[in-house]
Chains A and B, each alone.
Chain A
Amino acid sequence: MVELVWLIPALPLAGFVLLLFLGRRIGEPRAGWIGTAAVALSFVTACVVFVGLWGQPEHTYELSLFEWIPAGHFSVDIGILLDPLSMAMVLFITGIASLIHLYSIGYMHGDSRFPRFFTYLNLFVFSMLVLVLGDNLVLTFLGWEGVGACSYFLIAFWFEKEENASAGKKAFITNRVGDWGFMIAIFMTFFAFGTVTYAEFLPMAPGLAQTTATFIALMLFVGAIGKSAQIPLFIWLPDAMAGPTPVSALIHAATMVTAGVYLLVRVNPVIAASASWIPWTIAIIGCATAFLAATIALAQQDIKKVLAYSTVSQLGYMFLAVGVGGYTAAIFHMITHAFFKALLFLGAGSVIHGMHEEQDMRRMGALRKAMPITAFTFIIGWLAISGVPPFSGFWSKDDILAYALHKSPILYVIGLITALLTAFYMSRLVFRVFYGDARWGESAEAELANLDAHTATADVDAGETDTHADAHDDAHSGAEHGAVHPHESKWPMLVPLMVLAFFAAVAGVLNLPFTEHLEFLNRWLEPVVGENQAHLSLGGVQLTVELLISTTIAILGIVAAYMVYLKKKVDPRRIELPFFANGWYIDSSITKFMGGIGRKGFELIALFDKVVIDGAVNGVGRATRGGAARLRAAENGYVRWYALMIGVGAVLMVAFVLTQVSF
């Protein structure tokens, strides 16, 4: 059964090729069903392969398909490495991708480029599967670039709008910085080991010189930072929300952005062999990102922006887990996060759809009556991400925090504060969207005008105020034609919500911390990360205390949000500081830098490129041409001249031989 593994990526690829050439002719909605079927079949295959994998020694199976790049000592095969880690990834990627494909059929209904959307989605799933199933770094890199390209296509899917197109470019260029690190790491790996195949170089990693291992680990970490949106390369992810919401759910929450975490977990022996500051750096960057993004999420008004910063924050948790040696905790959180964040995004998509493309939370409220199923599933996602027991997020987040405490209490405390913020901003979102007063009727317009005035006086840059004003006008014109009537979405959108809600609620059973028998995920991943996993020996008392603290923190955050946003005891503007709303001014600082000093610096580099690099290349050409012009004079076309040259040559050769040979 396990031999079928090649079908897992092949099916989405087939779907992609079919839709690429015939998508327009197939049309809506059949193109969507074909795309969904390709991925769903891939998921079924993955389940079958999973059953087959139990019978394999060490739950590992390798399949080499063909040789891709044979070049001297360097050879790259197209091969599949199916081990517990890639199996876990494949299962949740294909599973969630199938649901999101199904959802997209409803969400993208009526879009003029409906078939093309599914073409891209299938290509994305294929690339993602190549990324996790590839048995060497180069193949992983191929998938890595593939998902990056698809991410770019899909962020800029509605490219008619300038800002969507530039958001796509921003994501692409920011990722390029990380990809540079990944490429250097591949070169260095080949230099150090003579191979880039995981099964060959990972077992050799413990014997590696520490400096080399440190360098490789650092460069891989740079790659992971770019793809997984960590400080300082996280700026692209919030803008990536310009894409259709299913894309945000699939690519920018559940799968692609976790690729960096996957990569670091995959190369855990290299990290173990590197200097001790590498894990520390990973943990600190992760922790700082988690905290920073959570504070920004506090003050966002766009429902998708909140979720985007929340994703950055949760990815920070995963990096924290990797840094403190809790590899299984990272994967555990990755899986639960995939469930609940995909759920939240799809729920947000359902809300946006029901509100006629309205994304501003200030124009929502009391939607639980209009959209009961969306509200119900969204609330499960909210409880899961806030860390309320017994929902899945509680267990995985607590697992990470336990490892963090094992490494350093400071990381633990920051993690806890972030958990508090998470519970707070997610509660804020839920209370403002699904509870409170309806702010989308005509009666709410006056209040909104008031709010806009406030925003204008607050410290917000001019551009943002403009967009608010535009949105306000839109709402007005909407009101003239009759107020917005929120409605519940159709079944292709609701079924994925319900399935994801189920898993978001119960996925915690994958890895319950009470006894070793309940830690299924830990035991399953043992062959991959077992040696380098930090070992926790939690006593019953310590475990209980930690779980109680986490629960208290989560409830505290929810109660605080309840007080602020429903009871209105505190003015929200005292929490939603402009500093947070503008993302700590990181984006605008980068813009300022790039417009001023940065630009001068790059122009200097461009000048160097023009003068020295281009000069060298052109110089070679010019020298060749000049030399040739002079040499051409010898080729004058006179036969006697050639004959003379032959004679002179013969004489010279004889003379040379005579001087060399002694009789």
Chain B
Amino acid sequence: MGGNLSLAYLMLSAILFVIGGVGVLIRRNPLVMIMCVELMLNAVNLSFVTFGKMLDDISGQIIVFFVMVVAAAEVVIGLALIVAMARRRPGATADDLRALRG
């Protein structure tokens, strides 16, 4: 793999990360927000793999598995929260969670 190709992967990763981050900040639908978080995580995964390849180090790829496990767990909780919220108040947005503020 040439240096340019690696750079392209890193660029893609950065673009995906920014899309995800902006999504989290501007969208109000909780489901979309979770998806954006997933997007950010996977962007990071991509850069890990790329760096692992660049540095010829296997740990870059190992960490990806960790991240995927954590992401799966996080999604389970996130979706559970969203389902609970949707049942109680259908159509509620993330901003409506403000009511929970102390």
Complex Cα gap A644–B101 (Å): 17
* Cα–Cα, bound, A643→B21 (Å): 9
Which residue of chain B lies nearest to A640 when distances are taken between CB atoms in the complex? B25
- Does B56 sit within 8 A of A, measured CB to CB? no
Q: Which residues of A contact B98 (CB under 8 A)?
A: 636-638
Known A-B contacts A640-B25, A640-B26, A647-B21; A635 and B33 likewise in contact (beta carbons under 8 Å): no
Is B5 an interface residue when CB atoms closer than 8 A count as contact?
no
A629 at the binding interface (Cβ < 8 Å): no
Is there a chain B Cβ closer than 8 Å to A617's Cβ?
no
Closest to B94 in A: A639
The answer, yes or no, to whether B100 is at the interface (CB within 8 Å) is yes
Asked whether, in the complex, the Cβ of B26 is within 8 Å of the Cβ of A637, the reply is: no
CB distance from A663 to the nearest CB of B (A): 15
Judge whether A635 and B101 touch: CB under 8 Å.
yes
Contact with A along B54-97 (1 / 0, CB 8 A): 00000000000000000000000000000000000000001101
Chain B interface helix/strand/loop/mixed: helix
In A604-663, which residues have CB < 8 Å from any B CB?
635-640, 643-644, 647
Shortest CB–CB separation between residue A640 and chain B, in angstroms? 5
Any A CB within 8 A of the CB of B24: yes
Judging by beta carbons under 8 Å apart, are B24 and A638 in contact? no
Please, how many angstroms separate the alpha-carbon atoms of A505 and B92 in the complex? 100
Closest partner residue, chain A, to B97 (CB atom): A639
Residues of B within 8 A of A639 (CB): 33, 94-95, 97
Instruction: Tell me the nearest residue of chain A to B24, going by C-beta.
Output: A643
What are the residues of chain A within 8 A of B102 when measuring CB–CB?
635
Q: Is the CB of A644 within 8 A of B25?
A: yes
* Chain B residues positioned under 8 Å from A637 (CB to CB): 97-101
Nearest A residue to B98, CB-CB? A637
Closest to B25 in A: A640
Asked whether A640 lies within 8 Å of B21 as measured between CB atoms, the reply is no
Residues of A within 8 A of B100 (CB): 637
Interface size on A, residues (CB 8 A): 9
A640–B97 CB distance below 8 A: no
User: Are A643 and B25 in contact, with the CB atoms below 8 A?
Assistant: yes
In the complex, which residue of chain A has the Cβ closest to the Cβ of B21? A647
CA distance in complex: A635, B28 (Å): 18
Tell me which residues across on chain B come within 8 A of A647, comparing CB atoms: 21
Nearest CB on A from B23, distance (A) = 10
B94 touches A640 (CB 8 A): yes
The residue in chain A whose Cβ has the minimal distance to the Cβ of B93 is: A639
CA distance A644 to B94 in the complex (A): 14
Instruction: Give the Cβ gap from B46 to chain A, nearest Cβ, in Å.
Output: 18
Chain B residue with Cβ nearest A643: B24
Which residues from 532 to 549 on chain A have a C-beta closer than 8 Å to any C-beta of chain B? none
- Docked complex: B7-44 residues within 8 A CB-CB of A: 21, 24-26, 28, 33
Taken together as a complex, chains A and B put the C-alpha atoms of A636 and B33 apart, in Å, by 18
How far is B19's CA from A551's CA once the two chains are assembled, in angstroms? Answer: 113
Contacts of A640 in B (CB 8 A): 24-26, 28, 94-95
Q: Do A636 and B24 have beta carbons less than 8 Å apart?
A: no
**Nearest Cβ distance between residue A185 and chain B, in whole angstroms?**
51
Q: How far is the CA of A637 from the CA of B99 in the complex (A)?
A: 8
User: Which residues from A are CB-within-8-Å of B101?
Assistant: 635-637
Bound together, the chains give a CA A640 to CA B33 distance in angstroms of 9
Residues of chain B within 8 A (CB-CB) of A636 are: 98, 101
On chain A, the residues within 8 Å of B28 by CB distance are: 640
A 214-233 to B, binary, CB cutoff 8 A, 1 in contact else 0: 00000000000000000000
Bound Cα distance A477, B57 (Å):
114
Q: Give the docked Cα–Cα distance between A547 and B94 (Å).
A: 103
| Most chain B C-beta atoms within 10 Å of own C-beta, residue among A636, A637, A647 | A637
* Chain A residues with CB under 8 A of B21: 643, 647
A639 to B98, CA, bound (A): 8
Question: How far apart are the CA atoms of A636 and B101 in the complex, in Å?
Answer: 7
Residues of A within 8 A of B95 (CB): 638-640
Name the CB-closest residue of A to B101. A637
Chain B nearest CB, measured from A336 CB (Å): 74
The distance from the CB of A183 to the nearest CB of chain B, in whole angstroms, is: 45
Task: State in angstroms the CA–CA spacing of A90 and B25 once bound together.
Answer: 81
List B contacts of A638 (CB < 8 A). Answer: 94-95, 98
Contacts of A635 in B (CB 8 A): 101-102
Residue of B nearest to A644 (CB): B25
Chain A residues, CB < 8 A from B25: 640, 643-644
Query: Complex Cα distance A637/B97, Å?
Result: 7
Q: Which residues of A contact B94 (CB under 8 A)?
A: 638-640
Given pairs A635-B102, A644-B25, 8 additional interface contacts (CB within 8 A): A637-B98, A637-B99, A638-B95, A639-B97, A640-B26, A643-B21, A643-B24, A643-B25
What 10 A-B pairs have minimum CB-CB distances, sorted nearest first?
A: A637-B98, A637-B101, A639-B94, A640-B25, A643-B24, A644-B25, A638-B95, A643-B25, A638-B98, A639-B97
18 residue pairs of the A-B complex, CB under 8 angstroms, read A635-B101, A635-B102, A636-B101, A637-B98, A637-B99, A637-B100, A637-B101, A638-B94, A638-B95, A638-B98, A639-B33, A639-B94, A639-B97, A640-B24, A640-B26, A640-B28, A640-B94, A643-B21
Q: Residues of B at under 8 Å CB distance from A?
A: 21, 24-26, 28, 33, 94-95, 97-102
